[in-house]
Amino acid sequence: MNNITEKASDNGCIDETTWSFSGYGGPCCNRIMGKPGVNKGGQTVMLYDVGRHYPRAYFHRHSQVKKDPRFTTQGANEVYELIQRVKLLLKHSLPQFLEESNVENSKALPTSESNKNEQPQKNSTSSSTEPQTRQVYNTRPHITADNHFSGDAITSYLGENGFGYTCTTRRDRLPADIENRYLNHIRQNDTSHSRLKIARYEQPIVAVKRVDPTPTTKGYTKVITSFQSTGTTNFTSVNSLPSCHLFVSKKERGRGNDKRVWAIEYNEARQLYLSTYWSVDAADKMIKFCNIFYYCWKYWHSPMRHCIAIVCVAIYEMYNEICDGDLDPEWAVPEKDQLSFRDFWVKLSEQMLQYTPTNRRYKGDASMRRCTKERRNKRKNPETVEELEAAIIPSEPDLGQGLTTELLRQAKLIDRRNIPRLCNQKDGSFALLWKHFSQMKMQTNAAYCNMCEKKTRWKCMIYMEYCCILDN
């Protein structure tokens, strides 16, 4: 996704996405708790853009993960691994990232090991190699996550590296330097009690910690927001909250006589979290609608199907971005005429069923059984097609200019390996082309055009190929 987009959103969301598999899957398959309809399978931690369901980074969750000694919990270590991938996507920051990685590796190693190994250690996340994807982040993004990815160590690490972070905090991961009696940490069994309802409209408890920069780290501000909602709620924010106080938001549901209006308590931390923590959950809902499924005892087919569904969701977001006119105002489509995800998925399925590998438009088509069974005189040489596209298509001027002398010259181009798109003689005339036109015969049965795949009854009797240059 990073290779085909110009820039990423400044806000991201981290959460796990789950694929189900009930058989043996080695270290990739485990018992899944708390996921409706899934009791065994695998999970992948994803970083999505907020606003568009574009995946930016991922990290597979399995039993063979080697945790960084600074982050002992699973969620904190996964955030650390994702941040290493995000650093490679930051524009104009690769040399600085490589220097920071060497410093982090020296800190992570024990003193005895660092003295034994005089050579610099390689980073486990392959950060010392050149990035293979485009750098799409103009600034270090703000990231939102749930309480599984909370922890004092990871929030401090993100602040030292200049990232923004907002997450809900588990009661057993509250900051150690604040006594629990000053925060909402007791679990309430009866959330409908009148005292709890009144406490929702009290000002939140806010604790602020400012850390000065050092020669190797950046300065940051960490904020703990504790308040009473339907249960005890604690937020940890890093470089994201300028202020925090209680306010009320108006909610409406229904219409006419059935319309209901009520107030819901808010503060800046809760508003920021709820406005950004929805991207992965919304993508998972769309992935479920894709309904890509078939029975197979090989466990690696399950994550592959899940990945195909993620690609379909990203393609639909690209379609929405084009229809909204964000890329080009001339491509904008009114909202009422845009396809819903269901209609888009049906259209995509129809195109998939109509496509045949004999078109050889994608890599690997020539190796499909449908192509290898063709007669040799009917086959297209894949090398010739790829070389023709590489030699002609990139050097063509803008097609919006219409027919130009350069396009005509390239269409008549012929050499030892390339096939011309126009039949011409050495003197530049089109006598051979007119010869083909004179040999066009209408057949009784229709067949697919050799160029555009539309059905036609006209056939060139020289090349014995169907061509729809004439009307049926």
Structure tokens that stand for 51 in this block? 């606003």
pLDDT band at residue 79, thresholds of 50, 70 and 90? very high
pLDDT band at residue 154, thresholds of 50, 70 and 90? very high
Looking at residue 365, its pLDDT comes to 85
| pLDDT tens column, 6-47 | 899 999 999 999 999 988 888 888 888 888 888 899 999 999
Structure tokens that stand for 38 in this block? 């899934």
Looking at residue 119, its pLDDT comes to 42
pLDDT band at residue 194, thresholds of 50, 70 and 90? confident
pTM, rounded to two decimals: 0.71
Distances (CA, A) of 230 to 9, 235, 271, 464: 32, 15, 15, 75
Looking at residue 395, its pLDDT comes to 43
Lowest mean pLDDT among 68-82, 185-199, 395-409: 395-409
Lowest mean pLDDT among 120-129, 225-234, 238-247, 329-338: 120-129
pLDDT band at residue 229, thresholds of 50, 70 and 90? confident
Compute the distance between CA of residue 410 and CA of residue 394 in angstroms, rounded to an integer. Answer: 12
Looking at residue 93, its pLDDT comes to 60
Looking at residue 405, its pLDDT comes to 64
Compute the distance between CA of residue 223 and CA of residue 97 in angstroms, rounded to an integer. Answer: 26
Is residue 64 predicted with pLDDT exceeding 70? yes
Is residue 56 predicted with pLDDT exceeding 80? yes
Greatest mean pLDDT among 287-301, 306-320, 358-372, 379-393 lies in 306-320
Is residue 131 predicted with pLDDT exceeding 60? no
Question: What integer best gives the mean pLDDT of the chain?
Answer: 81
Looking at residue 117, its pLDDT comes to 42
Give bridge partners of residue 224 from the DSSP assignment. 207, 236
Looking at residue 413, its pLDDT comes to 58
Residues in Cβ contact with 174 at an 8 Å cutoff, skipping those fewer than 6 apart: 180, 183, 185, 224, 234
CA quadruple 172, 173, 175, 180: dihedral, nearest 10: -20
pLDDT band at residue 105, thresholds of 50, 70 and 90? low
Looking at residue 156, its pLDDT comes to 94
Let me know if 225 is exposed, middle or buried by CB neighbors in 10 A (0-12, 13-18, 19+). Answer: buried
Looking at residue 249, its pLDDT comes to 87
Looking at residue 457, its pLDDT comes to 87
Let me know if 207 is exposed, middle or buried by CB neighbors in 10 A (0-12, 13-18, 19+). Answer: middle
Instruction: Identify the DSSP state of 466.
Output: E
Is residue 90 predicted with pLDDT exceeding 70? yes
Is residue 256 predicted with pLDDT exceeding 60? yes
Looking at residue 78, its pLDDT comes to 95
Overall average pLDDT of the 86-110 stretch: 63
Overall average pLDDT of the 176-181 stretch: 86
Overall average pLDDT of the 205-212 stretch: 93
Residues in Cβ contact with 283 at an 8 Å cutoff, skipping those fewer than 6 apart: 17, 46, 48, 53, 310, 313
